[in-house]
Amino acid sequence: MPVPLLRGPAASEESLTTVLVAFGANILVAVAKSAAALVTGSASLVAEAAHSWADSGNEIFLLIANRRARRPPDRAHPFGHGREAYVWSLFAAVGLFVAGGAVSVTHGIQGLIHPEPAERFLVGYVVLAVSFVLEGISFLQSVRQARSEAGSLQRDLIEHVMVTSDPTLRAVVGEEADPRVRSAAIRALLEMPEVARVTYLWLEIVGPRMIFVTGDVDLTGDDTESHVAVRLRALEAKFCASPAVAGAVLSLSAPDEPSLQA
């Protein structure tokens, strides 16, 4: 069942790569700033180094988010663990805000109490250049991931970053899937020989690039009630074969319900 607009394992691996690249970049930037702080004894560089180490720590939250969200469904979590990604991403966002704010305020107070003369500009320029290169690599990887996903979703880059369900780019939760994903799901159902028409469909995001499907369909033929139930369960299983579908519940359409169009 093709639901190409919410790719599964390949997109998850791309997200993991993005987080790992950002983590590595932050570590190297923190090391560069720490080395410069040791050489110069600058309180400003000490504060900047602390900020970069805090950024590196926040990337760990995103790594945890990616790992825990990819765990398979179990009895307690029948739709999988995708929503954990949003919780750990929230921790990362709060950590970044608190750590960055605390370092900035502390550095500002220290600068007012113990002002330092500006000196050793060369060291600062070198650290700035190293940071620019490393952060640029991380940024380009994020753009690469976003551009690839945006292309498969027929979106432009900015639109995708604003609406994606992937918290490594932007976190959203508790909303219906993109209309283009909905259209793809309707087409996928109508392409199945068992389905004559679709009269209702609701897609809810339950994790990064993961949806739960609820819908009403009119099956072909005129089977008995027991056989229809078996066919519906088989249709749900077929639909859930896509790695982008966490689960599906399908019911029969009423004869007077209007059909949906892709």
SS3 state of residue 109: helix
Mean pLDDT of 205-229: 79
**Measured distance CA(200)–CA(217) in Å, rounded:** 7
pLDDT of 114 strictly over 50: yes
pLDDT of 5 strictly over 50: no
Domains in the chain, CATH or no CATH each: 9-163 (no CATH), 179-252 (3.30.70.1350)
The C-alpha torsion from 221 through 226 and 227 to 232, rounded to 10°, is: 90
135 or 16, higher pLDDT: 135
Q: Which residues contact 133 (CB under 8 A, 6 or more apart)?
A: none
> Whole-number mean pLDDT of the chain?
75
Bridge partners of 217? 198, 252
One-letter amino acid for residue 136 of the chain: G
Residue 188: CA atoms inside 13 Å, Cβ hemisphere, count? Answer: 23
CB 45 within 8 A of CB 127: yes
Model pLDDT for residues 227-260, shown as the tens digit of each residue: 888 888 888 888 888 777 877 888 888 888 888 8
CA 258 from centroid of its chain's CA atoms = 35
Q: Sheet containing 195-207: which strands, arranged edge to edge?
A: 195-207, 210-219, 245-252
Bridge partners of 249? 214
- At residue 199 the predicted structure's pLDDT band, cuts being 50, 70 and 90, is very high
**Measured distance CA(65)–CA(168) in Å, rounded:** 9
pLDDT of 162 strictly over 80: no
Report the range of poorest mean pLDDT among 76-80, 223-227, 250-254: 76-80
Give residue for tokens 């008995």: 224
